[in-house]
Each structure stands twice: as structure tokens, then as C-alpha cells.
Amino acid sequence: MSLKNLESYKGHIHEYGFSVINRVFSEEEVEKILNVLNSIDTSRENFRKSEDLFAIRQFLKEIPEIKNLVFNENIKKIIKEIFGEHYFVVKSIYFDKPETSNWYVAYHQDLTISVDKKLEMSGFGPWTTKQNQFAVQPPLNVLENIYTIRIHLDDTDGNNGALKVIPKSHAKGIYRPETIDWNIETEKICDVEKGGIMLMKPLTLHGSNRTTNGKKRRVIHIEFSDMELPEALQWSERMN
């Protein structure tokens, strides 16, 4: 499809913290991505496998041959026109929520970034380390600057774990889920068609329900920033 006018999507993500754009990938482009995913050796260290979830961390580094398929002309245009001229990849994950999955995710914000090392720095913390990968909660302005693209490889709705979000929660700083006031907040379920994307700010409160319709939900999650980190700290998955 030709994405002519992206201004309305840009306005929506700025105001509400998320936006859905369908038909970003053609049927054929989605099939090519799935062919690569179906042919990979899933026993590697950065792959997490359980009955409820299969995930690949550092996805674009682990599966470099997928990069050209993911960054089609539409995605490049969206990054440039909605995010900004100088945005680059800082994190990527692939999620496969199987048909029988009982996996559900409680409301949360995405509060950590992936970095190359652990440094004691003012404003950065707490830290976590998993398999030699370092994650840290950075200062608020770093989180506010990030955009996330979630590429949907299956039709997704409330019955197979589409994200539910609280509109405008991205503008409220660190928002603890246990303090959500349901008298003033509303929940929105973000249906996305196969080949569509969801754009999100990481501070938008989001979660997802268990799968009830026996359908898969496969999503490529990529985060972008245009900020350099202070001192000697680097984004661990930085990719232009």
C-alpha cells in the first residue's frame, strides 16, 4: 500500500500513546518473513521456549537475514515521518504466542533499555542482568523519546492476545499499574490485521489477555531512539 498521509497516525500516537496502521506489509511480504522464521534453529541461547511463549531476544542480531524483509519502504517511511529523521534501532524481540497459550501479561510500562555494560551512573537504575545482557531503567527523558513498532504476522484481536492499552497514560511519567484509577481511565483493545503494525510509546500502560480463540499471535517488536546515552554507555542492539 502507499502510506500517503501519516500525519493523523503521528497525531494519534502523540496524543494517545499508540496508533494502529494496517496493510504495511503485503501478504507476500509476511509470508517471506514467516518462511525465514520457520527455518531457524530454535535451540540457541537467546531463544526462550515454553508451552505458552516462544521468544527471540536481540532478534535482528540473531536473525540478520530478516532485516531487509522487515525494513520495507513503508516501515522506513513511518520511521522517518512519524518518529524522526535520525531514529535508529535500540532493541528487538520476536514473540510467538501459540494457539493454546495461557500466557497473559498484566498492565505495565516498558521501563528498561538494553545496554552493553553496567556502569554506576546517576539517574540509571535499577539494573538487571540476564545471560550477559544488561538492562537498566534510564532517566525518564530517555524513555519518553523511544518509539516501538510491533509488526503483526497474524490477525490479532482481544481473543488471541491483542494488546490492551490505557490511552494517554504515556504522558503521566512512571505510572504504577496498582494505582490505575478506573474511574478516570479507560481500556482500549488494539486489533491489528496480519501485515499491520501497532506503534506505541513505551510509557503507555499495556497488557494482554490469554488466547481464547485457538489462533496464533506472532509479533516482531522493535524499539527506536535518536538519543545517544551518556558517558561510555551504549545501546546494546544499536543498528542504523
Instruction: Tell me what pLDDT residue 168 has.
Output: 98
User: What percent of the chain clears pLDDT 90, i.e. is strictly above it?
Assistant: 85
Q: Which helix (H) or strand (E) holds 78?
A: helix 73-78
- Predicted confidence band of residue 2 (pLDDT cuts 50, 70, 90): low
* Domains parsed from the chain with CATH numbers: 7-225 (2.60.120.620)
Q: Cα–Cα distance between 42 and 32 in angstroms, integer?
A: 18
Q: Which helix (H) or strand (E) holds 56?
A: strand 54-57
* pLDDT surpasses 90 at 162: yes
Whole-number Cα distances in Å, 78 to 3, 9, 202: 8, 9, 17
Instruction: Tell me what pLDDT residue 102 has.
Output: 85
* pLDDT surpasses 60 at 115: yes
Instruction: Tell me what pLDDT residue 98 has.
Output: 84
Instruction: Tell me what pLDDT residue 101 has.
Output: 82
Kindly state the average pLDDT of the residues 122-130.
Answer: 94
Q: Are 89 and 222 a contacting pair, CB within 8 Å? A: yes
Closest CA relative to residue 104, chosen from 47, 165, 160: 160
- Predicted confidence band of residue 140 (pLDDT cuts 50, 70, 90): very high
Instruction: Tell me what pLDDT residue 81 has.
Output: 97
Q: Report pLDDT digits (tens) over 218-234.
A: 999 999 999 999 989 99
Instruction: Tell me what pLDDT residue 49 has.
Output: 83
Q: Are 165 and 190 a contacting pair, CB within 8 Å? A: yes
Kindly state the average pLDDT of the residues 83-104.
Answer: 92
